[in-house]
Structure 1
Amino acid sequence: MESELRDDNERGAPDGGLRTMTLEAYADTIVPGEKRFADDRAIAGASTGGGAVQAGALDLLQWDATGIHDGLDDLVRLVNEHAQTYAAEHGLALDPAVPPFVALEYPHRAALIQRLTKPGHPEKEFWVLLALFCNMAFDSAAHLNTAQAMAEGHPGLSAMGLTQPDDDGLWRFEDYSYGRKFARLHPDTTSTGSPA
C-alpha cells in the first residue's frame, strides 16, 4: 500500500486517488454529506446536503497553515491499516478496488473513528486533530474568504444561517442581540472604529 500511496501522491492525488479518497472518507465521517455522484465511494451519503467534503475539508487539511499537511500521508496509511484490522476483527470483506477505510460502510467508519479518538488510544491526538480540521472546514470555512464562501453557497456557513454581507463585503447588524446598544461611542473614536 505504501508504494500505491507514493504513486498516488506523485500523480498529484487525482480525485479517485488513494490519498484523496481516504481523506474525503474521513472528513465525510466527521461531518457527513450527500454523494456528489451516484458511484461516489468516498462520501457514504449518510446525510443530505453538503458535508465536510463539500465544505472544502481536503483543501483545509492540505493547507500548510494547519501544520498537519506534511503528516497526511502517514495518517492515510495508518487509518487504512486500522480499517484492515477492524474489518478482520468484524469479519468484513473489503472491496480491493478502493482504500480499506473507504471500503467500510458508514457505520463501520464511524465506529473505527470512535475507537481511534477514544481516551487512551495511543494515536488519539492525531485523529482528534484531523477531525477538528474537518469540522473547521464546515463550521467556519477557515481556509476561505468568508464573503466569497457565502457567495459560493458554502454548506456549513449556510447551514448555520450566516447572513450575506452588505454590498461592500462587510457585515453590519441593525438589530443588537440584546435589543439595545451597550455603550455610547467614545468621542475620540475614529471613523474606522479605532480608538484615537
Structure 2
Amino acid sequence: SAPEGVEEAQWAAARAAHRGFQAGMELLAVLPSLAEASGFYELSVNADLSIHIGERLLDAEHQGAMAKVLVPPPRAKADEILAESGGMFYSRETPAHEPYVRAGDHFDAGDPLYIIEVMKMFNKVYAPFSGTVDDVLVEDDGVIISKGQPLFKITPDEKIVIESPEEVAARRRAATDEFLAQLV
C-alpha cells in the first residue's frame, strides 16, 4: 500500500521505476557491517566532548592481538636486522656514551639501535619490532657498511610466520567469504 499522502497509482509507478535497478543493494550493507564487526559503534562522544571507548576496545588481550596484526614483520630473515642504507656505522651517540644495544640486550619497537652517517648527516635508526640482540655483527664504530648488510643477530619477541603467496591468498579468501556470508 502507498504511504500516506501518495496516490496508489503514483506509488506503483515509482516502485516500477526502481524495479531492476536493485542489483548490488547488498553492497550498501558493507559499511555498517564493517563498523559493527570492528566495534566502531562502541565509540561515542560524551557531553564534555571526551571520547567514550567501549570495553572490547580497551581489553588488553584484544589490544595485544591487534598489535600483532599491525606491527610490521622484520624485513629480512626473522633473526637479523639489516642496514637500511650504506654509510658509516656508529653504535652510540658519542664515544663517551654507551652503545644503544649490546649482545643480550632487549629492545622494544621504536628504540634506537644504531646511527648511520651518510654525507655528514647522522641518522638514528630505530627498531621496527621488539626483540633481543643475540650478537652484534659490526666490529666497531666508524665501520663502513652497505645497504642490506646484516648488523645484528636477534630473536624477535613475536615469532614471525612467513606465509607463502598461496597461504596469503587462502587466508584472504577465507576472510572475504566469512565477511560476505554476513551480508547475505
Tell me the TM-score normalised to structure 1 length: 0.20
Tell me the TM-score normalised to structure 2 length: 0.21
Looking at secondary structure, tell me which structure has more strand per residue: 2
Looking at secondary structure, tell me which structure has more helix per residue: 1
Larger Rg computed on CA atoms:
2
